[in-house]
Amino acid sequence: MSLGSAKAIGQRLVAEGRFDNLSEACRAGLRRLEQDERVVDRLVALGAAGMASGIDDGFDIDAFVDAMPAES
């Protein structure tokens, strides 16, 4: 496995004193990834529940997207 820039980031965090070693930094990153995955799973479940609720009847996604402001 090649870590590339991830290894450099981990080494920098260790050098800055945020972690004691690279393994600790990697574990923290994996914990964050796991947390993010739980958030995504929850959002998907909430989206599915919303779609199943029927309150979206008549919603025009194209009109909604067209009305959104452009990203800067």
pLDDT by residue (tens digit) across 17-60? 999 999 999 999 999 999 999 999 999 999 999 888 887 778 88
- pTM for the model stands at 0.62
**Distance in angstroms (rounded) separating the CA atoms of residues 25 and 28:** 5
The residue ranking higher by pLDDT, 53 or 16, is 16
pLDDT at 2 over 80: no
Give the pLDDT score at 60. Answer: 87
- Contact at 8 Å (CB) between 40 and 32? no
- What distance, in Å, lies between the first and last C-alpha atoms of the chain? 37
